Amino acid sequence: MNFKKQFEEGLLTKNPVTVQLLGMCSVLAITTSLFNGLGMGLSVTIILICSNVLISALRKVIPSQIRIAAYIVIIAGFVTIVDLLLKAYLPDLSESLGVFIPLIVVNCIILGRAEGFASKNGVLASAVDGLCQGIGYTVALVIMCVIRELLGSGTFGGGLLNGGEGIRLLPAQFPAMMMVMPVGGFLTLGFVIAGSQWLMARLDRKNRKNRKGGR
């Protein structure tokens, strides 16, 4: 298990949002406030870790013919637990995220890591993979939320700070309302992906330069 490699993959080189382009429906729909982004990101991270651990522990028991169905049942169980906990303890977040919490069951990020990693690796490595992929997903959501909330509403920390109204950084007449609409989600995602690709290219050039210098 290489924690550094798994962390780099989850955060940058195999980020589920900016590289693998998974779970786009929720990414575009809920990234209008920091509250939503953190809530969805943490929910997906918890479900990723728990489902990865259980699927890894049962990988030698689950028949290959029904593995996808078994994975979905396991994921659905953890999604139900998280959904009920949100309704009980964070009803505002549950109402804000709406149907996108139950839809985590069919989120390609969760099922993809179950099939691509947890079913082939040990429990600890699978837990770390879930954590790293969840962190990468959460970071991407938070970046999009900050951009869209600032440009679309003129605030920061909506749902979390200043009694839930957020801290106003731009006068009310300046924000572009389209940034909190679907078109704003697509535009923001495009810029975030471009920034991610630029950063990866820069790091790759730096690594190649270091390898040449070490010869």
* pLDDT tens digits for range 70-89: 999 999 999 999 999 999 99
Cβ-contact 85, 42 below 8 angstroms = no
Share above pLDDT 70 across residues of the chain, in percent, rounded to a whole number: 98
Confidence of residue 211 (pLDDT cuts 50, 70, 90): confident
For 198, the 3-state DSSP assignment is: helix
For the cut 90, the answer to whether the pLDDT of residue 39 exceeds it is yes
DSSP H helices in the chain: 3-8, 24-30, 34-57, 67-89, 91-97, 108-116, 123-153, 182-213
d(CA 65, CA 58): 14
* pLDDT tens digits for range 112-133: 999 999 999 999 999 999 999 9
pLDDT, position 166 = 83
User: Which is it for strands 155-156 and 167-168: parallel, antiparallel or unpaired?
Assistant: antiparallel
d(CA 4, CA 160): 31
Contacts of 37 (CB under 8 A, 6+ apart): 30, 31, 138, 141, 142, 144, 145
